[in-house]
C-alpha cells in the first residue's frame, strides 16, 4: 500500500513538473511567435509603404513620393534609405532645401554611405549663394564623424591607461614604455581636442532655407529693414532665436533674421 502511494506521489510530482515546464515553454513559444509575427508584420508594412513610395517616384510623381516618405518618417519608420529617397524626391520636385535636410539626416544614420555623400554634394552645388562654407579646420574635422572621433579617442585613451597600469604593476617596464606612454598621452589629448571640436560643430544648429527666396531682416520683426536675400537650400548657422525668428550668419560679415517657417533646422555644420 505504501509502495503504491509512493508511486502515485512520484507520478503526481512528475505530472505537475511536466505540466509546469510544458506550460512555461508554450507561453514562451507563443510570445516569441507573437513578437516575430509583429516584427515581420511591421517590417512587411514598412516595406510595402516604402515600395509604394518608390512606385510613385518611378512614375515621376515626385511630390507625392516625398509626402509618402515623409509620412513613413512621421509614423516612426526611419531608415537611411527612406531619408535618401526623400532627399531624391524632394530634389526632383524642386525643393532643394528639404532635399539637403533629408540627405543630412540620412548621413547621420550612415555617415560613410557614398551615395548619400554624392547626392548631398550634387544638390549643394545647385544652391545659389550665400550659403555656409566651412573653414579649413571644420573641413579637417569633418574627415571623420563625431562617433569615429569618439571611438578613436576612447581606444587611444584605453591604450594609454593600460600602459600606465602596466607601469604601476611592473615598474621595470617604465623605461621601455616611456616613449609609447608620451606618444599615447599626446595622442589622447589631441584626439580629445578633436572630439571637442567635432562635438562643438555637431551642437551648432544650422538653418536650411526651404522656400524659394527668403529675405533676411535686420531685426526680429516684419517691419525691420530687409538685408540680404537667401535662396532655397542655403545652409546658415543659427546664432540666436527670438520668438519665431532665427538670427543667422549669412556670410562672413553679414547677419540677419529669418522666420522660423522659412527654414528646416538641423544639427551640425
Partner 1 sequence: MVKLLRNGWQMLNRGRGGLWFALLFVFVSPAFSASFTASLDRNTIVLGEPVTLTLKFEDGQPQGPLSLPVDGLRITSSPEQSISSVFSAGKQTTVYSYAVSLEATRVGEFVIPPFNIKMNGQTFSSQPLKLKVVASDPSAPPAGNAEKMAFLWVELPKTNLYINEPVVVEFRIYLRSDVRRYGDLQFSPDGNGLTFSKIAQGQQYQRRVGNATFTVVPLSVAITPVKTGTVSLNPINGSILLNGRDPMDIAGFFGPPTRPQRAPLTAERMDLQVSPLPEEHVPAGFNGVVGSYTMTVTAGPTNVVAGDPITLHVQISGHGALDTLSLPEQTGWDNFKTYPPTSKINASDPLGIEGSKAFEEIVTPQNSDIKVLPPVTFSFFNPEQKQYRTLTQPALPLIVRAATPGAMPAIAATHAENPPPAADVISIKQHIGTVAQISAPLVEQPWFLALQGVPALALLSCVILRKRKESLENNPRLRRQRQVAQLVQEGLEQLRIQASENQSVEFFATLFRLLQEQLGERLDLPASAITEAVIDERLRPGGVSEETLTSLHELFQTCNLARYAPVESGEEMAQIIPKLEMALNELREWKR
Which spans of this chain sit near partner 1 (rule: CB under 8 A)? Answer: 43, 46-47, 50, 54, 57, 77-82, 84-85, 87-89, 91-92, 105, 108-109, 115, 118-119, 122-123, 125, 129-130, 135-137, 146-147, 150-151, 154, 157-158, 161-162, 164-165, 168-169, 171, 195, 199, 202, 217-221, 223-228, 251-256
Backbone φ and ψ of 235, nearest 5° = -105, 120
Is 132 or 263 the residue whose CB approaches partner 1 more closely? 132
Q: Name the minimum Å distance from CB 211 to partner 1.
A: 19
Buried b (16+ CB within 10 A) or exposed e, 34-72: eeeeeeeeeeeebeebbeebbebbeeebbebbbbbbbeb
**What's the closest the beta carbon of residue 32 comes to partner 1, in angstroms?**
20
Q: Please, which residue, 16 or 121, has the CB nearer to partner 1?
A: 121
Phi-psi region of 222 (alpha: psi -120 to 50; beta: other; left: phi over 0): alpha
Helix (H) or strand (E) holding 174: helix 174-203
What are the two backbone dihedrals, phi and then psi, of residue 43, each rounded to the nearest 5 degrees? -65, -40
| Nearest residue (CB) to partner 1, 41 versus 225 | 225
Shortest gap between Cβ of 112 and partner 1 (angstroms)?
14
- CA pair distance 233, 229, nearest whole angstrom: 12
Which residue shows C-alpha cell 505504501?
2
CB of 172 to partner 1, least distance (A): 12
Nearer to partner 1, 25 or 130 (CB): 130
Which CB, 150 or 183, lies closer to partner 1? 150
CA-based Rg of the chain, rounded to a whole angstrom?
29
CB of 256 to partner 1, least distance (A): 7
Amino acid at each position: 500500500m505504501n509502495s503504491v502511494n509512493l508511486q502515485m506521489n512520484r507520478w503526481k510530482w512528475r505530472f505537475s513538473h511536466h505540466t509546469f515546464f510544458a506550460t512555461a515553454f508554450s507561453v514562451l513559444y507563443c510570445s516569441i511567435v507573437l513578437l516575430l509575427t509583429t516584427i515581420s508584420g511591421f517590417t512587411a508594412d514598412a516595406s510595402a509603404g516604402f515600395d509604394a513610395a518608390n512606385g510613385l517616384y518611378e512614375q515621376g510623381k515626385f511630390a507625392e513620393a516625398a509626402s509618402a516618405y515623409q509620412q513613413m518618417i512621421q509614423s516612426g519608420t526611419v531608415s537611411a534609405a527612406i531619408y535618401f529617397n526623400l532627399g531624391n524626391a524632394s530634389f526632383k520636385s524642386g525643393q532643394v532645401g528639404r532635399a539637403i535636410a533629408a540627405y543630412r539626416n540620412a548621413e547621420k544614420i550612415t555617415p560613410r554611405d557614398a551615395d548619400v555623400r554624392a547626392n548631398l554634394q550634387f544638390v549643394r552645388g545647385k544652391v545659389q549663394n550665400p550659403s555656409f562654407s566651412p573653414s579649413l579646420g571644420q573641413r579637417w574635422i569633418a574627415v571623420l564623424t563625431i562617433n569615429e572621433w569618439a571611438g578613436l579617442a576612447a581606444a587611444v585613451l584605453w591604450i594609454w591607461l593600460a600602459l600606465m597600469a602596466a607601469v604601476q604593476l611592473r615598474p621595470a617596464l617604465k623605461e621601455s614604455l616611456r616613449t609609447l606612454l608620451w606618444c599615447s598621452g599626446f595622442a589622447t589629448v589631441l584626439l580629445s581636442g578633436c572630439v571637442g571640436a567635432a562635438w562643438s560643430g555637431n551642437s551648432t544648429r544650422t538653418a536650411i532655407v526651404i522656400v524659394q527666396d527668403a529675405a533676411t531682416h535686420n531685426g526680429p520683426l516684419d517691419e525691420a529693414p530687409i538685408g540680404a536675400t537667401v535662396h532655397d537650400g542655403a545652409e546658415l548657422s543659427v546664432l540666436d532665436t527670438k520668438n519665431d525668428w532665427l538670427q543667422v550668419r549669412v556670410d562672413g560679415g553679414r547677419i540677419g533674421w529669418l522666420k522660423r517657417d522659412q527654414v528646416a533646422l538641423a544639427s551640425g555644420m
